[in-house]
């Protein structure tokens, strides 16, 4: 461990080491700390951070649980650089890019439940 690691231990954010789509169309993420998170498809789709789901200027969510089909599924994923993943949904929505930071935040939300 280097000097910087000891000064700022909480600066280092966890990263996914593996990503996949499970049989229910949810997103599975395996993290550097060895934990695995399964994001249920509808729950995750309703938290899409793109400009089509959240108004850019006001930050108001326009597509959430009420607008998302009950049986929505994730159909594919594409890694974006080394910081995010773009998800293809069964409701033809493909513009959502989920950064590692955002997924980590959502993992924290699931942990609270
Ligand atoms: Zn979206």
Going by pLDDT thresholds of 50, 70 and 90, the confidence category of residue 1 is low
Does 102 have pLDDT greater than 60?
Answer: yes
pLDDT band for position 25 (50/70/90)?
very high
CA of 89 to the centre of ligand 1 (A): 10
Q: Residues 72, 91: contact at Cβ < 8 Å? A: yes
Kindly report, residue by residue over 38-71, the tens digit of the pLDDT: 999 999 999 999 999 999 999 999 999 999 999 9
Asked whether the beta carbons of 69 and 91 are under 8 A apart, the reply is yes
> Where do the domains of the chain lie, and which CATH numbers do they carry?
22-112 (3.30.2020.30)
CB burial of residue 99 (10 Å; 0-12, 13-18, 19+): middle
Q: What is the mean pLDDT of the chain?
A: 93
Element (H, E) at 17: strand 16-21
How many whole angstroms from 27 Cα to the centroid of ligand 1?
15
Task: Report the pLDDT averaged over residues 90-94.
Answer: 97
Question: Residue 63 C-alpha to ligand 1 middle, in angstroms?
Answer: 7
């Amino acid at each position: 461990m280097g000097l910087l690691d000891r000064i700022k231990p909480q600066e280092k954010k966890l990263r996914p080491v593996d990503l996949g789509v499970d049989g229910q169309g949810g997103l599975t993420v395996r993290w550097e700390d060895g934990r695995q998170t399964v994001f249920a498809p509808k729950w995750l789709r309703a938290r899409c951070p793109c400009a089509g789901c959240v108004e850019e200027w006001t930050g108001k969510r326009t597509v959430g649980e009420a607008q998302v089909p009950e049986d929505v599924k994730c159909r594919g994923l594409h890694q974006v650089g080394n910081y995010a993943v773009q998800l293809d949904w069964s409701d033809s929505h493909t513009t959502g890019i989920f950064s590692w930071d955002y997924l980590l935040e959502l993992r924290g939300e699931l942990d609270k439940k």
